């Protein structure tokens, strides 16, 4: 297990030597984080895809990218393991230090293990259900659990997969899944126990911070059955751990085709209803954008002329889509899945360009 975590001094050191354009690095969570990050969701559960992600990590570090995002259920745990191997190699070769890079992962869904010989259903049954780690009454949709014992188990497995003593940011993964089966009172109780567990893990140094990685929860209106309130989660964190709580981030989709996080007022705040990105900033939590090029589809599309004109000086649709995603007001890091050197070179070239002014993003919707 590699000791340490991302630190202000280390991430600033990485930013200073990166050669990136002004504005590419931003201060968030007391760290200096690149405005682009490597995601690891897509791909087959095979060695070739592992090798692609490991090469992409090397390309990212060389291009001035220090944010790496994964989840235990991505590719049967192989994405976590590939990130861990690639970072361990980079540290051993002196291309980066542990205090310079920021690693996030997620837990909540039942993961498979692509390297376990048991059938997936049997693996889940024997690993999580028979042991009581995931109590049957707390499982949503047959695949999701945030019970304390289960979360502790998942954090331990993720740390082992990554080879890291401390995970910089641990997300509850699509916690709104629980709301599809229980009422808000039960959900609040489950979330409170999950938060207490995450705070205990943070106090023990196994994670440095925690957050929510969502798909619909933060973008839909408060009347929607799967709505999740950032303010309510912050209040629950304060109740569990006081003002020194470790709730520091949210993740949600944001791209040219799914722009609600910047333009739809889904979150109640002290200043009235605000889009999720603004509400997150007002609550003091960093926002990370997922699906920044819509799982590659925007990179292959011929974008409208107004998009090309709004983001000049860029060569490809993927770069323009990423420029949109990372330039919105309140967005800290736009995540993009890259598992080939060619796509890494194309996407991470954007680090040599400054983000666009945030009002240029909003002007596309006027």
Contact criterion met (CB below 8 Å) for 296 and 259: no
| pLDDT for the residue numbered 300 | 76
CA distances from 58 to 52, 61, 88, 91, 317 (A): 10, 5, 11, 11, 23
Average pLDDT over residues 215-236: 97
pLDDT one-digit tens code per residue, 165-206: 999 999 999 999 999 999 999 999 999 999 999 999 999 999
Whether the pLDDT of residue 296 is over 80: the answer is: no
Report strand pairing: 247-253 vs 331-337.
Answer: unpaired
Going along the chain from its start, the domains and CATH numbers come out as 8-363 (3.20.20.100)
CA distances from 102 to 33, 73, 81, 279 (A): 8, 19, 16, 23
Average pLDDT over residues 341-354: 94
Whether the pLDDT of residue 354 is over 90: the answer is: yes
pLDDT one-digit tens code per residue, 315-339: 999 999 999 999 999 999 999 998 8
Reduced to 3 states, what is the DSSP secondary structure of residue 233? Answer: helix
**Residue 341: which pLDDT band, with cuts at 50, 70 and 90?**
confident
Q: Where are the beta strands (DSSP E) in the chain?
A: 25-28, 31-34, 36-39, 67-69, 102-107, 169-173, 210-213, 247-253, 267-269, 272-274, 286-290, 331-337
pLDDT one-digit tens code per residue, 303-316: 899 999 999 999 99
- The percentage of the chain sitting over the pLDDT mark of 90, rounded to a whole number, equals 94
Whether the pLDDT of residue 57 is over 80: the answer is: yes
| pLDDT for the residue numbered 297 | 78
Average pLDDT over residues 57-65: 97
Whole-angstrom Cα distance, residue 218 to residue 153? Answer: 26
**Residue 240: which pLDDT band, with cuts at 50, 70 and 90?**
very high
Whole-angstrom Cα distance, residue 324 to residue 36? Answer: 12
Whether the pLDDT of residue 299 is over 80: the answer is: no
Whole-angstrom Cα distance, residue 113 to residue 3? Answer: 25
DSSP 114: T
Q: Which residues pair with 2 in a beta bridge?
A: 164
Q: Which two tokens mark 205?
A: 């140094």
| pLDDT-wise least confident of 1-5, 286-290, 360-364 | 360-364
Average pLDDT over residues 325-354: 95
């Amino acid at each position: 297990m590699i000791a340490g975590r991302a630190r202000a001094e280390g991430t600033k050191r990485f930013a200073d030597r990166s050669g990136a354009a002004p504005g590419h690095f931003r201060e968030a969570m007391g760290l200096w984080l690149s405005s682009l990050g490597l995601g690891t969701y897509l791909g087959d559960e095979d060695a070739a895809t592992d090798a692609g992600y490991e090469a992409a990590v090397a390309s990212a570090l060389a291009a001035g990218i220090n944010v790496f995002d994964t989840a235990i259920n991505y590719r049967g745990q192989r994405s976590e393991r590939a990130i861990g191997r690639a970072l361990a190699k980079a540290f051993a070769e002196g291309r980066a230090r542990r205090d310079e890079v920021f690693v996030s992962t997620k837990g909540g869904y039942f993961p498979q293990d692509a390297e376990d010989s048991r059938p997936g259903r049997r693996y889940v049954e024997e690993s999580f259900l028979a042991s009581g780690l995931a109590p049957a009454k707390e499982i949503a949709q047959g695949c999701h659990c945030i019970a304390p014992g289960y979360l502790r188990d998942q954090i331990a497995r993720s740390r082992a997969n990554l080879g890291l003593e401390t995970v910089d940011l641990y997300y509850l993964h699509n916690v709104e899944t629980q709301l599809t089966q229980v009422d808000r009172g039960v959900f609040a109780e489950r979330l409170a126990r999950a938060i207490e567990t995450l705070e205990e893990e943070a106090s023990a140094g196994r994670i440095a911070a925690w957050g929510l990685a969502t798909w619909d929860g933060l973008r839909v209106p408060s009347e929607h059955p799967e709505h999740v309130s950032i303010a309510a989660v912050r209040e629950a964190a304060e109740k569990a751990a006081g003002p020194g709580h470790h709730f520091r981030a949210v993740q949600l989709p944001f791209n040219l085709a799914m722009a609600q996080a910047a333009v739809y007022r889904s979150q109640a705040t002290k200043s009235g209803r605000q889009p999720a990105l603004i509400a997150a900033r007002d609550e003091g939590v960093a926002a990370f954008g997922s699906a920044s090029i819509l799982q590659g589809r925007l990179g292959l599309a011929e974008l409208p002329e107004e998009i090309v004109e709004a983001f000049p000086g860029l060569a490809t649709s993927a770069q323009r889509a990423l420029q949109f995603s990372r330039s919105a007001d309140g967005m800290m890091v736009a995540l993009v899945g890259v598992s080939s050197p060619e796509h890494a070179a194309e996407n991470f070239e954007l680090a040599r360009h400054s983000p666009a002014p945030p009002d240029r993003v909003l002007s596309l919707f006027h």
